[in-house]
Amino acid sequence: MALTLSGDGTITGARGIAALQSVKTSGFTALANESYPCDTTSASFTVTLPASPSAGDEITFIDYAGTFDTNSLVLNPNGNKINGSTSSGTLVTKRQGATIVYVNATQGWLMYSSSLATAPLNVYVASYLLIAGGGAGGGEPAASSSGGGGGAGGLLAGTTNLYPGTTYSFVIGSGGAGSRNTGANGNNTTGFGLTAIGGGGGGSSLAGSGPGSSGGSGGGGGTNSAAGSGTIGQGYAGGTGTTGSGGGGGAGGVGGNTTGTTAGNGGSGYSSSITGSSVTYAGGGGGSFEGQTQGTGAAGGGNGGSSGTNATANTGSGGGGGYLDNSGTGGNGGSGVVIISIPTVNYTGTYTGTATVTTSGSNTIIKWTGTSGSYTA
């Protein structure tokens, strides 16, 4: 709809005249036949629609600051319906100017015109965190050698539109298994059409298999061996091994190199507050160094040692490297995780798989810790 601002403070649209209100920056209750510029620069907020609308009532909403695509405007039907559903509607298109009209109790409010091509009114925005399984630490297949720390699983964080009635499925990657040789890579985690790559296994010193493996984050190199590389946008490279081994890369930084008589520490993880509290995930595993100082894992990553310690489950962190003569094994990588945060007004309660559900502020958070799951919007 072409909207025209008149000198008397009204907006003329295709069906009539709506009084232009002051710019809104936080939640409010809308009145029929008025037009609201909404500024969501600071945060998404909710507009409560009239409780007792009449057929033909219209309301216009305008993306005042061009931020609906990053901080959506949520429309609460207030006991009525939007597009035939009792769920809230959401405006998510940048610079959108949308007019809704109340038709009847069966369909409720319908968007009949918009200044831009837009997603359906009932679409809503969720935040996500996808982390793949961490790589295992490398082991020691021969005397006087040390295994590198495992790389963290690839980490992807962002927002996505969810469409009512659509089922979104997830696969959560397991951590790699430690051994006396190069640690196994972690397994991929998938969801929303995205793939977080499993972490690279830590290197050993067995001929031909000393380097750390590449992955979401790279595994640390074994004694006198190079590190594995990370995946751009998901994690960092591992550390290089010299007289000792390197630490595995993390989602927040590269793994440490051997320094003097100290094995490399695991690369730093990624801090997320998607659950409402700050938690750090996807750290690299610590490298090992026979007879010297062992590397420390980060963000749940395993420490280096005579046998590397396992990473914490559902962190996607790397396992620690091992060094015990001819029998040192690397620690297992931590399994991955999928977390989504949904506006509680849109939460359907329909999910499958092993998951926990919590709330934080105005959002409901689902955290999957099994091997797979799904959510129906």
pLDDT tens readout for residues 70-118: 888 999 999 999 988 888 888 888 888 889 999 999 999 998 876 665 5
> Does one domain contain both 37 and 150?
no
Total domains in the chain come to: 2
- Cβ-count burial of 107 within 10 angstroms (0-12 exposed, 13-18 middle, 19+ buried)? middle
Q: Which residue among 69, 87, 122 closes a domain?
A: 122
The pLDDT of residue 116 is: 61
The pLDDT of residue 361 is: 93
The pLDDT of residue 125 is: 86
The pLDDT of residue 140 is: 84
What is the DSSP code (8-state) at residue 322? B
> Does one domain contain both 338 and 210?
yes
Q: Which two tokens stand for residue 330?
A: 């690397």
> Does one domain contain both 88 and 182?
no
Q: Which residue among 69, 94, 122 closes a domain?
A: 122
Q: What is the CATH number of the domain that holds 37?
A: 2.60.120.640
The SS3 assignment for 188 reads coil
Sign for the CA dihedral angle at 102, 107, 112, 116 comes to positive
> Does one domain contain both 168 and 306?
yes
> Does one domain contain both 208 and 322?
yes
pTM for this predicted structure: 0.77
> Does one domain contain both 178 and 264?
yes
Residue numbers in the chain where pLDDT is lower than 50: 1-17, 207-208
> Does one domain contain both 136 and 50?
no
> Does one domain contain both 226 and 185?
yes
Q: Which residue among 90, 122, 154 closes a domain?
A: 122
Residue 267 domain boundaries? 123-377
